């Protein structure tokens, strides 16, 4: 089934499009001797779709994890919607609720139904009533084309369906931003497009997204900007058209020659 999209009734996206939403300023992180994030600076505006690409080990996942504080940073700041991410505490839980995260490996709760996977956080974190959370969940599952799977367990679904549930689950918190770390890398080839279609739909709707992916079709179609990372640094930042046709750095030229 092809996912279809309509503006969700509960969404606050597209509001104040264009203002800075994520401000990353002089961020540094080491793992022992490894300089995994080396002076990272960038701004992601509301409604912008940023694709992060680069060789394995360049720090892409660490950057994503730093943005919702699954990782600490050594120095610098990351601010989301004007609030600098705290180290810990209650504000951190709130900020994390504002940032959806979709991982390579789906990470659904295996012992809960698809519907429960989507309703859990709205009920627990936002205190939403069960009936309301279920109504919202069904709307979101319908948007990603898996409403008919709501009563199943995750293991009964294909990888592509599970990843679409994971996207619905992140949308259920009405996040200001969605981070996706290689969301299609673990999928069988025939399932990649059904997930990319959902991602393109979200982008077209104005969701702010930071997506680590090597799916150039998605980058060309949906990205406003590509960040190319190597050795913990943002080496190049350009529009997809510029980046893919005229990469400036040797690192980017070399990387693209291997994947295109």
Beta-bridge partners for 24: 42, 78
For the CB of residue 197, give the shortest distance to Mg ion in the complex, in Å: 23
The residue whose two tokens read 């709205």 is 122
Cβ distance to Mg ion smaller for residue 60 or 69: 60
| Residue sitting closest to Mg ion (CB) | 61
Is 149 a binding residue for Mg ion by CB under 5 A? The answer is no
Cβ distance to Mg ion smaller for residue 9 or 56: 56
Among 147, 158, 169, 223, which residue's Cα sits nearest to residue 192? 158
Is 149 a binding residue for ligand ADP by CB under 6 A? The answer is no
Cβ distance to Mg ion smaller for residue 60 or 225: 60
Is 31 a binding residue for ligand ADP by CB under 6 A? The answer is yes
Cβ distance to ligand ADP smaller for residue 10 or 233: 233
Is 61 a binding residue for Mg ion by CB under 5 A? The answer is yes
Among 118, 64, 132, which residue's Cα sits nearest to residue 96? 64
For the CB of residue 230, give the shortest distance to ligand ADP in the complex, in Å: 9
Structure token pair of residue 23: 């401000």
**Would you tell me how many other CB atoms lie within 10 Å of the CB of residue 106?**
23
- The backbone torsions φ and ψ at residue 62, rounded to the nearest 5 degrees and listed phi first, read -60, -40
| Helical packing angle, 159-171 and 114-124, nearest 10° | 20
Interface residues with Mg ion (CB under 5 A)? 60-61
């Amino acid at each position: 089934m092809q996912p279809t999209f309509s503006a969700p009734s509960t969404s606050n996206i597209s509001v104040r499009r264009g203002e800075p939403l994520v401000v990353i300023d002089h961020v540094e992180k080491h793992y022992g001797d490894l300089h995994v994030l080396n002076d990272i600076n960038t701004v992601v505006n509301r409604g912008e779709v940023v694709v992060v690409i680069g060789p394995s080990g360049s720090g892409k996942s660490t950057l994503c994890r730093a943005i919702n504080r699954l990782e600490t940073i050594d120095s610098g700041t990351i601010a989301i919607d004007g609030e600098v991410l705290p180290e810990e505490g209650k504000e951190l839980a709130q900020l994390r609720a504002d940032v959806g995260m979709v991982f390579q490996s789906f990470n659904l709760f295996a012992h809960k139904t698809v519907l429960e996977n989507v309703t859990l956080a709205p009920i627990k974190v936002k205190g939403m009533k069960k009936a309301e959370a279920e109504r919202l969940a069904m709307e979101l599952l319908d948007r990603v084309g898996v409403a008919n799977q709501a009563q199943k367990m995750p293991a009964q679904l294909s990888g592509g369906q599970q990843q679409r549930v994971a996207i619905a689950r992140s949308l259920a918190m009405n996040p200001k931003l969605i981070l996706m770390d290689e969301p299609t890398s673990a999928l069988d080839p025939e399932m990649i497009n059904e997930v990319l279609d959902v991602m393109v739909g979200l982008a077209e709707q104005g969701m702010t997204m930071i997506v680590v992916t090597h799916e150039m079709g998605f980058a060309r179609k949906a990205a406003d900007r590509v960040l190319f990372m190597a050795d913990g640094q943002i080496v190049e930042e350009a529009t997809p058209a510029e980046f893919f046709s005229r990469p400036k750095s040797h690192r980017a030229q070399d990387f693209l020659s291997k994947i295109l």
